[in-house]
Amino acid sequence: GHQIGDELLRLVAGRLSEEIRPGDTVARLGGDQFVVLAHGCDASEAAALAFRLQTVFALPFRVGEITVPLSASIGVAVARPEVRDAHHLLSDADAAMFAAKSSGRDRVHLFSPSLREAARWRLEVATRLRDEAIDQLVVYYQPVVRLDTGAVEGVEALVRWQHPERGLIGPDTFLSVAEETGQIIPITRWLLRETTRRAAAWAAEGLPLRMSVNISARHFSAETLVRDVRLALRESGLAPEQLVLELTETSVAEDPTRAEDQLTVLRRAGVRIAIDDFGTGWSSLAQLFSLPIGTLKIDRSLLVAAEQVTGGEGGAVLAAIVALTRTLGIRSVAEGVETVEHLRMVREAGCDLVQGWLIGHPMPADELPGWLRRVQAAGGDACALAATRTPVTTAP
């Protein structure tokens, strides 16, 4: 509640004030952002101050009966002869703080000029995405294939931005900004509509494909996921069984109860749930497997790690994960399969499904039917077809 929040802010301000030198200033900029203005510091003194301020958060804060652990992301910027303007200095500090935040919580980050470029880009993305850019989003589709028969089971929808000046931009460069500004919710809502409509149209053409859509953690806290999914299904007429929602383990772990409630409702409605990027987070397996999960997507990093271990031990790790999911009745997808050797490894490990550049790159919607027909013409086994091709290991 507000009262506790206000009291916490006062406590933080109090502790920060104790760490600064006489004559320096602590102020709150708004929300949970504070600024510390220190006179006559060079970069290394400013960094030392930042690390000292970080220790302020070592002990949890106590408000009445409640103990609250807090951490801080700290950005440091230093005035230079060419940066004397207060607004510049603040925006540099802000860019550094953003970099600290994105490299994980509880970090200190020093400003560098390249961060200013990044900050400019973020601002542009934030502004543009708000106004006209949803019309400029395009969805690429990457095939997901069964390992036993090589049959194409479905596709994963991957968003790109057809930027008027910069060309086609990958999701990693703009989705983090969209998450921050909350734009990710309308974007995902649009994506759900677009992809379910697309899948329904393909099914009507005799190409029934299961459609996987990535869902961000923000969507759980907004509590509109269930409604947005239902609406998209109703409008498109797509069977709920043909829709898979991909969630990362970290997004689920952020608020497991809330995630479980919403996922249970969706699962009851027939929608399938997949855990994305498995192996990159540190979630509790017990917690993860208490969710109504149908599929586990094994991150490419596990594949790469397995490949680097000599003597076949790496394959054993993959096989153990797959065996675990199988015991729980969960299907596994090997992500990022780029080479014939990868394909062999994941097949030996017993994975159910496979996805990666070896099988097929993400492609625009109008190229997919042609790709599928080529697979059909070659006997319907996309794995066998891929194994005969020279692998392309760069992004299109």
Return the ∠ at Cα 378 (arms to 375 and 381), rounded to 5°: 60
Return the ∠ at Cα 311 (arms to 306 and 315), rounded to 5°: 35
Q: Which long-range contacts (CB under 8 A, 24 or more apart) does 38-41 make?
A: 41/78
Q: Which does 314 bind (CB under 5 to 8 A by kind): ligand C2E, Ca ion, none?
A: none
* Placement of tokens 């406590």 in the chain: 11
Give least dist CB 354 to ligand C2E, A: 10
Interatomic CA distance for residues 199 and 19, integer angstroms: 58
Listed ranges 169-177, 192-200, 238-246, 386-394: which one lies at the site for Ca ion (CB under 5 A): 238-246
Alpha-helical segments (H) within the chain: 2-19, 43-55, 86-102, 113-130, 171-181, 184-204, 217-222, 225-236, 249-254, 256-268, 285-289, 300-308, 313-327, 340-349, 368-377, 382-388
Residue with the CB atom nearest ligand C2E in the bound state: 356
Give least dist CB 213 to ligand C2E, A: 6
Residues 246-265 that bind Ca ion (CB under 5 A): 246
Structure-token pair, residue 378: 């070659």
Q: Pick from 94, 276, 352, 381 the residue near Ca ion by CB under 5 A.
A: 276
Q: Which does 208 bind (CB under 5 to 8 A by kind): Ca ion, ligand C2E, none?
A: none
Q: Which does 356 bind (CB under 5 to 8 A by kind): ligand C2E, Ca ion, none?
A: ligand C2E
Compare residues 91 and 212 and give the one whose CB is closer to ligand C2E.
212
Summarize as ranges the residues that interact with ligand C2E (CB under 6 A). Answer: 142, 157-159, 170-172, 175, 188, 191, 214-216, 276-277, 300, 336-338, 356-357, 362
Compare residues 142 and 236 and give the one whose CB is closer to ligand C2E.
142
**Phi, psi at residue 395, to the nearest 5°?**
-70, 150
**Residue 332 interacts with Ca ion (CB under 5 A)?**
no
Report the candidate in 211, 217, 173 with the shortest Cα–Cα distance to residue 195. Answer: 211
Give least dist CB 83 to ligand C2E, A: 34
Q: Indicate the DSSP class of residue 69.
A: -
Give least dist CB 84 to Ca ion, A: 46
Q: Pick from 195, 214, 216, 355 the residue near Ca ion by CB under 5 A.
A: 214
Residues 335-374 that bind Ca ion (CB under 5 A): 335
Give least dist CB 267 to ligand C2E, A: 19
- N-terminal to C-terminal alpha carbon distance within the chain: 49
Question: Which residues are CB-neighbours of 357 under 8 A, at least 6 positions away?
Answer: 336, 337, 338, 391, 392, 393, 395
**Residue 242 interacts with Ca ion (CB under 5 A)?**
no
Give least dist CB 56 to Ca ion, A: 37
Q: Which does 362 bind (CB under 5 to 8 A by kind): Ca ion, ligand C2E, none?
A: ligand C2E
Give least dist CB 389 to Ca ion, A: 23
Compare residues 228 and 277 and give the one whose CB is closer to Ca ion.
277
Burial 168-189 (b: 16+ CB within 10 A, else e): ebebeebbbbbbbeebbbebbb
Phi-psi region of 320 (alpha: psi -120 to 50; beta: other; left: phi over 0): alpha
Q: Which does 191 bind (CB under 5 to 8 A by kind): Ca ion, ligand C2E, none?
A: ligand C2E
